[in-house]
Amino acid sequence: MVQSSDIVEAHGLKFQLMLSEAAIAQRVREMALELQRDYADKKPLLLGLLNGAFIFAADLVRQCTFPLEISFVRVSSYDGLQSSGRLTTHFGPDLELRGRHVLLVEDIIDSGQTLHQFLPQLQSLQPASLRVAVLLVKPEALECEVPLDYVGFEIPNKFVIGYGLDYDGLGRNLPGIYQLKE
């Protein structure tokens, strides 16, 4: 990872800064206020999707001042820069969603395929409610209907890294979000 001002490089590709650390922090605070309004008396279970959402989830919960629980599940469908289409889920053995107000916390929605396949699996575990908080959405890439209850930013249809998102393992630790340069 080579870093110079607003350009970073990963595996030989260049990425340009799109969202600064400060801009993300501001939006995450606003999202937490929206959650406060809807969940303050519900003791929700926030369910972060690994690996990408680990930083967003960590920042979001620390801006929430009401009682909540947080857990993680691992779902993967990506292979480098492209969605592989196949979804693999790895539930923890003791994930109990029945009767809980569940808020899925996701880094980015691209085609929407991941959540389109995963939400029915969660719904079958009979939560009291099920909503989605996502930091980034690429509206031009959406292929299926996905509920977008809390959205951080709508972004262009370009591959991004940083703030938890990687390109073949690199870039997750960048504090800002960077988009692939043409």
Residue 78 as a binder of ligand 5GP (CB under 6 A): the answer is: yes
Binding mask 20-49 for Mg ion (x = CB under 5 A): -----------------------------x
Contact 8, 178 (CB under 8 A): yes
Site for ligand 5GP in 130-159 (CB under 6 A): 159
* 110 belongs to the catalytic site: yes
Smallest distance, ligand 5GP to C-beta of residue 41, A? 30
Tokens (6 digits) for 99: 């009767």
Beta bridge partners of 105: 48, 133
Residue 107 as a binder of Mg ion (CB under 5 A): the answer is: yes
- Strands in 101-109's sheet, in edge-to-edge order, are 82-90, 69-79, 45-50, 101-109, 129-137, 150-154
Residue 59 contact, options ligand 5GP, Mg ion, none, Cβ 5-8 Å cut-off depending on partner type: none
- Between 32 and 104, CB nearer to ligand 5GP: 104
- Between 68 and 105, CB nearer to Mg ion: 105
- The amino acid occupying position 53 is A
Phi-psi sector, 80: left (phi>0), alpha (psi -120 to 50), beta: left
Residue 52 as a binder of ligand 5GP (CB under 6 A): the answer is: yes
Q: How far is CA 147 from CA 41, 93, 119, 133, 164, in A?
A: 22, 26, 9, 9, 22
Smallest distance, Mg ion to C-beta of residue 156, A? 18
Residue 77 as a binder of ligand 5GP (CB under 6 A): the answer is: yes
Tokens (6 digits) for 140: 């031009």
Residue 78 contact, options ligand 5GP, Mg ion, none, Cβ 5-8 Å cut-off depending on partner type: ligand 5GP
Active site residues: 110
